[in-house]
Structure 1
Amino acid sequence: MENSSDLSKSLLTPERRRWIILGLIFFAMVLNYVDRQIVSVLKPTLKAVFDIDDRGYALLINVFIICYAITYAAAGWLVDRFGAGRIMLYGIIAWSSACIGAGFTKTFGQLAFFRGALGVAEPMGFPAQLRVVTIWFPPGLRATANSICAAGSTIGAIIAAPLVAWLALNFNWHAAFFVPGVLGLVIAVLWWIFYRDPPSAAFSGEKAAAPAFRWGQLWRTRSLWGILISRFVSDPVWYFCLFWLPGYLQERSGLTLAQIGMVGWIPFLAADIGGVGSSLFSDRLVKRGVEPLRARKLTLLGAALLAPVCVLTPHFPSAVATLIIFSIVGAVCLTWLFNLGVVVAEAFPSANVGSVWGIAGAFGAAGAMFFNTWVGEIMHTFGPVRVFALMAVLHPLAILILWKMVRKETPSSGNGSAGHLTPAEAIG
């Protein structure tokens, strides 16, 4: 371990090593999303193997989401308390192991257990990712760096359909769980080698002893509640894309599993392009002199105005129309997820970023859980029209909340400040 550390430090300056670290996060997030997407690509297969209907499938998804929501807030606290490097390593090992375990299942209960374990592990990556970006990159690069990390998520969603379909068709459905899990363990080894010596605050353009909120004080800030409610409202649309869209294309638009492998990635590629492109636009606004937090909000406003297009989906049921509509919807969703994380970095002290993003992720997953249960019941009983009508208004509602409630939050002696604290002290 010492030799590998010396080698990485001697060959790479912090400025160069941060891009390797960014690349490892990218690939970790690729596999994070492949792992969670497996069940959506294999939805008809798993429904047949385990003898379940849409309500049973919704239950399987909710097992993942409930565990995901519960763990997300704790993951943010762990990142701020023990460091992004350590928590990211543990998270990659845990979610990869859970994916491998799912490949061995023979009953619905066993599959649900490992999907729950996946839900416990996967949230660790996201607050760790944001904390790494915050401490390794200056404000003018943060949205771009964060979008590169987060783009791994949708690259994972892009390759999940062809990869999972190919593995299932050429081997069996079990292999679709085994292969991504093993690749994840390889990434964990590389992370253990390269993530060394996080830089000082000055490296990323922050003040060395920036004041930070304690845990209890965070909950008394208006901006935290603005972030939480915005994610609770907007996240369900992205979760629909992840967990229901591949199955919808097979069951409502008539595509086969092989065809899903060929075209099911298109909305996720569009989502990735939209998320990265909007992040570059957001950073460009900052470089042109727009106040950083306002630049992020303007970017999110533009995306929210496009979100209502999803209401057209049930009226144009062909696969081509659905792919086009959800290419736009996906771009809206990732514009929000990529830039909302940077909103947190702009609005809160860096020592609080992991906790805020972790709590926000928990609220987003909770919103998705309620929406997911409703989707399963409505899809089974009435069809999809009501589902898409509700989805059409969620992002416009979220931007109203965000615009009114989120601002720059800085502790001061007049409001019970935490003072100048270390990251560990800030949350402890």
Structure 2
Amino acid sequence: MLATPSKHTAGSGTESRGQQHISKYRWTICSLLFFATTINYLDRQVLSLTWKDFLVPEFHWTDSDYGTITALFSIFYAISMLFAGRFVDWMDTKKGFLWAIAIWSAGAVLHAWCGIATAGIINGDWFVGFEGAKESLETVSNVALVTSTSVTLFIFARFVLALGEAGNFPAAIKATAEYFPKKDRALSTSIFNSGATVGALLAPLTIPFIAHAWGWEMAFIVIGLLGFVWMGFWIYMYKKPEVHPRVTRGELEYIQQDLVQHDPVTEPTIAAPKKISFASCFKYRQTWAFALGKFMTDGVWWFYLFWTPAYLKDIYGMDSTQSALPLFVLYVITLLSIIGGWLPTFFVERKGMNPYEGRMRAMLIFAFFPLLALLAQPLGTITYWLPVIIIGIAGAAHQAWSANIFSTIGDMFPKRAIATITGIGGMAGGVGSFLINKGSGVLFEHAGRTNMQFAGFEGKEAGYFIIFSICAVAYLIGWRIMKWLVPKYSPIADQ
């Protein structure tokens, strides 16, 4: 049996009461992970909601410039994810998460000074303030120099943001594995993962209005500071469940029920477990299944996240405040993703499936909903609300898919390897995101410049139809690859 700390020692009155009461502190930890993910997505959304209305007039960016910035963010994120998981496994959950959110919050705030830095590099105006930087750049006749300098500086700020944000999901998945038994991990993951939707939901209701009231720079600063506030709560509230005074003996036994059942996926309870080396992770088909599933689908979500505000601007002429309501409705629909945590539990408890089989069955169902994206552009000729609703449904399907694909790691790998495998999959997802974001920017600029025609659409409408079509089929392809690599439940036992 698993040895437990002295606060749960046999014979104590505390234990007797604890055995009769299962506390629910694990859901408090889940709420902290939810808020961290919300802040994570708020920080990465500031750029997408300000670039068309504020940064293009100031820095003269094109779609390709923006595509380059978002694509490189994706590749920075991908590379960082590869090491972030290992870093979190090394630092452990509490310290690893603190480092991650501190770095990404600093990176978010750093964006605000890119305008001043551009004016300083070009004109030597380093101490002019935000408005002074705008006035300084208006005097520059070489527009290309302003564009290239500002793009470079924003790329650097995105690098710092990506470096920190890469730690969010490895740390959150690891915390979930520490605080929840396997049968509850999809639900808890879907709850904290819905923070991505809530962050995207709050972004259009806050960021454009902050930018219009106080300047685009303050939007980056105000949103970026939220991460530092979260750090105070994490320091005070997070400890391992076996040593946390708020976790009763009953709750600890519930959390560790997989250990009691001697599940081969979990660590030995007496002997110190051997480490799984980084290189050895790649010899498992389970690693490749997770990584390729992320590669095929992560870019879809990031495309919707980064390009939907631009889509409403390009196709329907909406500025950032006018698009606030459609984007709000879109992400409200995305909240339906919470079903992603319930459905596999239904398959496991009611249908008798093992966790992996239940998750894969649920993921197949979710993979069909993105096919609606094939109709987004055709139906958009009727009203913009139809593509908004369709993108919302596709986004909900993605988040439901995402919660379950993350949970497959805990199904098949020991806890000590979870953050590392999460990082590997995140890197693969980032590479897919790089390709779709850079490709979208180039395609949209080309389509608009040449009035490209495709499938009855012209210009940028044709470009968006092509990308929507790619997004529509990505999940079924990803599911088929995963099922081919790991056709049945096959956990990695300790070596």
The aligned counterpart of 1:277 is: 339
How many angstroms apart in 1 are the aligned matches of 2:314 and 2:431?
Answer: 26
Unaligned runs of 5+ in 1: 1-5, 7-11, 413-417, 420-428
The aligned counterpart of 2:12 is: none
The aligned counterpart of 2:3 is: none
The aligned counterpart of 1:384 is: 464
Structure 1 SS opposite 2:156: helix
Counterpart contact for 1:23–1:149, Cα < 8 Å: yes
Residue 64 of structure 2 aligns with an amino acid whose one-letter code is R
The aligned counterpart of 1:405 is: 485
The aligned counterpart of 1:132 is: 175
The aligned counterpart of 1:205 is: 257
Q: Judging changes above 3 Å, is the alpha-carbon distance between structure 1 residues 293 and 314 closer, same or farther for their aligned structure 2 residues?
A: same
Counterpart contact for 2:75–2:433, Cα < 8 Å: no
Equivalent residue for 1:303, pick from 366, 385, 395: 366
How many angstroms apart in 2 are the aligned matches of 1:127 and 1:102?
Answer: 25
How many angstroms apart in 1 are the aligned matches of 2:189 and 2:55?
Answer: 34
The aligned counterpart of 2:56 is: 47
Counterpart contact for 2:82–2:427, Cα < 8 Å: yes
The within-5 A match list for 1:307-346 is 307-317=370-380, 318-346=383-411
Deviation readout 1:150-195 (Å, 9 max, x if unpaired) = 1111100110111101211222111111111112101011111111
How many angstroms apart in 2 are the aligned matches of 1:221 and 1:321?
Answer: 43
Task: State the TM-score, normalizing by the size of structure 1.
Answer: 0.89
How many angstroms apart in 2 are the aligned matches of 1:295 and 1:93?
Answer: 37
RMSD after superposition: 2.1
Query: Could you tell me how far 1:90 is from its partner in structure 2?
Result: 0.9
Q: Judging changes above 3 Å, is the alpha-carbon distance between structure 1 residues 402 and 81 closer, same or farther for their aligned structure 2 residues?
A: same
How many angstroms apart in 1 are the aligned matches of 2:472 and 2:186?
Answer: 26
Identity, % of aligned positions: 27
The aligned counterpart of 1:423 is: none
How many angstroms apart in 1 are the aligned matches of 2:325 and 2:215?
Answer: 18
Equivalent residue for 1:99, pick from 108, 117, 131: 108
Larger Rg: 2
The aligned counterpart of 2:132 is: none
Residue 272 of structure 1 aligns with an amino acid whose one-letter code is L
Counterpart contact for 1:255–1:319, Cα < 8 Å: no
Counterpart contact for 1:38–1:176, Cα < 8 Å: yes
The aligned counterpart of 1:258 is: 321
Structure 2 SS opposite 1:255: coil
Query: Could you tell me how far 1:262 is from its partner in structure 2?
Result: 2.2
How many angstroms apart in 2 are the aligned matches of 1:152 and 1:389?
Answer: 27
Q: Is 1:59 aligned to 2:68, yes or no?
A: yes
Deviation readout 1:77-100 (Å, 9 max, x if unpaired) = 112222111111111111111111
Q: Is 1:73 aligned to 2:82, yes or no?
A: yes
Structure 2 SS opposite 1:197: coil
Equivalent residue for 2:26, pick from 2, 5, 18: 18
Unaligned runs of 5+ in 2: 1-6, 8-17, 119-149, 244-251, 260-265, 448-462
The within-5 A match list for 1:116-195 is 116-195=159-238
How many angstroms apart in 1 are the aligned matches of 2:303 and 2:297?
Answer: 11
Q: Judging changes above 3 Å, is the alpha-carbon distance between structure 1 residues 15 and 355 closer, same or farther for their aligned structure 2 residues?
A: farther
How many angstroms apart in 2 are the aligned matches of 1:115 and 1:166?
Answer: 22
Q: Judging changes above 3 Å, is the alpha-carbon distance between structure 1 residues 43 and 14 closer, same or farther for their aligned structure 2 residues?
A: farther
Structure 2 SS opposite 1:306: helix
Residue 79 of structure 1 aligns with an amino acid whose one-letter code is V
Equivalent residue for 1:237, pick from 264, 282, 300: 300
The aligned counterpart of 1:415 is: none
Structure 1 range deviating more: 116-125 or 308-317 = 308-317
Residue 397 of structure 1 aligns with an amino acid whose one-letter code is I
How many angstroms apart in 2 are the aligned matches of 1:258 and 1:96?
Answer: 25
Residue 328 of structure 2 aligns with an amino acid whose one-letter code is W
Deviation readout 1:121-142 (Å, 9 max, x if unpaired) = 1010101100111111112221
How many angstroms apart in 2 are the aligned matches of 1:375 and 1:411?
Answer: 38
Query: Could you tell me how far 1:395 is from its partner in structure 2?
Result: 0.9
How many angstroms apart in 1 are the aligned matches of 2:373 and 2:314?
Answer: 18
Deviation readout 1:355-401 (Å, 9 max, x if unpaired) = 11110011001011012111111111123222222222211101101
Deviation readout 1:245-293 (Å, 9 max, x if unpaired) = 11101211222221222221222222222x2112112222222222111
How many angstroms apart in 2 are the aligned matches of 1:209 and 1:397?
Answer: 33
The aligned counterpart of 2:416 is: 351
Counterpart contact for 1:80–1:354, Cα < 8 Å: yes
Counterpart contact for 2:77–2:427, Cα < 8 Å: yes
Structure 2 SS opposite 1:284: helix
Structure 1 SS opposite 2:333: helix
The aligned counterpart of 2:450 is: none
Structure 1 SS opposite 2:68: helix
How many angstroms apart in 2 are the aligned matches of 1:209 and 1:63?
Answer: 38
Residue 290 of structure 2 aligns with an amino acid whose one-letter code is I
The aligned counterpart of 2:40 is: 32
Residue correspondences, number: 403
Deviation readout 1:324-367 (Å, 9 max, x if unpaired) = 11011111211111111111111222221111111001100101
How many angstroms apart in 1 are the aligned matches of 2:370 and 2:91?
Answer: 38
The aligned counterpart of 2:277 is: 214
Q: Judging changes above 3 Å, is the alpha-carbon distance between structure 1 residues 226 and 216 closer, same or farther for their aligned structure 2 residues?
A: same
How many angstroms apart in 2 are the aligned matches of 1:283 and 1:213?
Answer: 29
How many angstroms apart in 1 are the aligned matches of 2:71 and 2:59?
Answer: 16
Counterpart contact for 1:98–1:117, Cα < 8 Å: yes
Equivalent residue for 1:246, pick from 299, 309, 314: 309
Task: State the TM-score, normalizing by the size of structure 2.
Answer: 0.77
